[in-house]
Amino acid sequence: ALGNIFTRRNIYTDMAGAGWSAITGELGDAQKAMTARELKNVPFARRIFKETNPLYEDVEDLERLSIEEGTRRHKQNRELSEIYSLTEIEKEELRVAPSEQARKNIYRKRMSKRSVEFREFIKQQPQVDRKRLINRRKAMQRHIGLSNWWYDLMELSPESRAVAFYSRWYESDSETREDLIKTARRIGGIMSGRFMATFRRLERG
């Protein structure tokens, strides 16, 4: 899914001087492995791994092993979004709500009707995925109306999150950049210390 948010521009060429260390900094082995796993589907990531990461063969192994997992997660996320997608009438109700609190109350009322469907959905999922999906559902209910890109972003490690965010920010005009920053701050928890450390390394080039 992350591959879809990257443009055709080879942003990793711009980052080549920093390479793998620019993304992972002083992370431990476990965190580096997690970051490698999350970045495996990003266009051009294979090149930066091959050229700058001495553990490239391990990354290839992770890539092969996680194809099935990535496909499963994408399907689950899509099905969850379908359960909680708003009808045109519901969208209009939210649009004309007199306040943010009223908007949230309307949303909660409408979403409560999906609870039975969600419970049936979660029962059908592997045990290993249930906590992630429950947390994603909570994020969808807490932050109304965001695109799936933001929910995907919340699930990443800070380093991978920074790379994905930087790519969209880098390719945007000044107004969109400002909106991205405002949304990230409004959501909270996106721009952690580790996120900002990686983002600043990428920004410096």
Q: Which run of H or E residues covers position 181?
A: helix 174-187
At 101-131, the pLDDT tens digits run 898 888 888 888 899 999 999 999 999 999 9
Provide the 10 A C-beta neighbour count for residue 197.
Answer: 14
Where is pLDDT greater, at 60 or 144? 144
Tokens, residue 17: 């001087």
The per-residue pLDDT for 9 is 38
Q: pLDDT over 90 for what percent of the chain?
A: 35
How far apart (Å, rounded) are the C-alpha atoms in residues 40 and 36?
Answer: 6
pLDDT of 191 higher than 90: yes
Q: In this predicted structure, what is the pLDDT of residue 57?
A: 52
**Has residue 34 got a pLDDT over 60?**
yes
pTM above 0.75, yes or no: no
Q: Please tell me the distance from the alpha carbon of residue 194 to that of residue 165, in angstroms, as a whole number.
A: 13
Q: Contact 140/77 with Cβ under 8 angstroms?
A: no
Q: How would residue 177 be classed by pLDDT, with cut points 50, 70 and 90?
A: very high
Alpha-carbon distance 149 to 167, whole Å? 12
pLDDT of residue 104: 84
